[in-house]
Amino acid sequence: MKSYIDSFLEIIYPEKNTCFICETHDEAIGDKYICPDCKKKIKKLLPPLCAKCSKPMDYNSINNLCRECYNNKRYFEMCKAPYAYDGLIKKAIYIYKYYNKPYFYKFFGSCLVNYMKRNNYTNFDYIAAVPLHFSKMRKRGYNQSELLARNISQKLSIPYVDALKRSKKTLKQSEQNKEERRKNLNDAFTVKSPAKIITNKSILLVDDIYTTGATVNECSKTLIRYGAGRVFVITIAR
C-alpha cells in the first residue's frame, strides 16, 4: 500500500513519464524520473574514494582515508554517496530544496535505494534524517532529507525513526568556512524522547549532500552520545 505522502504528492504533481532534470516528457521514462540523455551526463563517484567519507582521492593512502578524515574525528562509521556534487545533480538538488519541488524525493530516493542495494549498504536497524530547524521547516514546508529517509525506509522495509531535533538555529552552512561550520553546529542537535529506542542500534542517517561533513558528523555525535551503537550516512552527492 502506498504511503499517504506518496498518494498526496502524486495527485498534486503528476510527474510520471517526465524527466525531473530537463522536464522532457516521454512515455519511455515511466517511473525512472530521468531521461537517458540526462542520465548519461550525471557524474558518478568512482574509485579511489576515501573509505570513511567517499571523497575522491588522487593520491595513494596507506589507510585509505582522505586527509580530512585522517586528521579529524568522525563519529560515523562511513558515508556513501552515488554522485559527485556537480553539474546536473547539483542543480537538481538545489531545485529540490529551494524551488518547492518536494516530489523530487522520488527520483533521488530511487537512485539511493538502487545504489544501496548494489553496494550491500542496507543492514541497519533504523533510518533517520538530518532535521531542519522549525523556522526553516515552516518557511520551506518540508524537510528534503526526511522525505528521502522515509522513502528509503519504505522501499527497504527498515523502520524510520524521528530521532533528531535541531535545537539551535544556525547560520547557513554554505556561507561558512570549515572551522566556522564546525563551530556553527556545536550543540545544534538533540535526540528526541524516548532516546532508548536507538540504544545500541545501527542507524542510517540520511542527508542531501556531504560537503565538509560537519552536519552529519555533529548529528552522528549526538546519536552516539545518546546511546546509538553505530551511525552510517548516505547522501545523494559528495
Q: What was the pLDDT predicted at 15?
A: 64
Q: What was the pLDDT predicted at 32?
A: 86
Compute the C-alpha angle 44/47/51, nearest 5°.
110
199 phi and psi, to 5 degrees?
Answer: -55, 125
Per-residue pLDDT band for 177 (boundaries 50, 70, 90) equals: low
Contacts 24+ apart (CB under 8 A), 188-196: 188/218, 189/131, 189/164, 189/165, 189/218, 189/219, 189/222, 190/164, 190/165, 190/222, 191/163, 191/164, 191/165, 191/222, 191/223, 191/225, 191/226, 192/162, 192/163, 192/164, 192/165, 195/226, 195/227, 196/227
Read off the pTM: 0.89
Q: Is 96 exposed, middle or buried (0-12, 13-18, 19+ CB in 10 A)?
A: buried
Compute the C-alpha angle 99/24/234, nearest 5°.
55
* 15-19, 87-91, 175-179, 209-213, range with the lowest pLDDT: 175-179
Closest CA to 127 of 80, 160, 79: 160
Query: What single-letter amino acid sits at 3?
Result: S
Q: What was the pLDDT predicted at 6?
A: 54
Residue 60 has pLDDT above 80, yes or no: no
Q: Is the pLDDT higher at 1 or at 20?
A: 20
Residue 72 has pLDDT above 90, yes or no: yes
Mean pLDDT of 64-87: 96
Question: H/E element holding 184?
Answer: helix 178-184
Place of cell 502524486: 10
Beta partners for residue 237, in sequence order:
83, 209
Domain 4-237 in this protein, CATH class:
alpha beta
In tens, the pLDDT along 99-140 reads 999 999 999 999 999 999 999 999 999 999 999 988 889 999
Compute the C-alpha angle 142/143/146, nearest 5°.
125
Q: What was the pLDDT predicted at 27?
A: 85
Give how far Cα 41 sits from Cα of 38, 86, 145, Å. 5, 10, 24
Farthest-apart Cα atoms in the chain, separation: 52
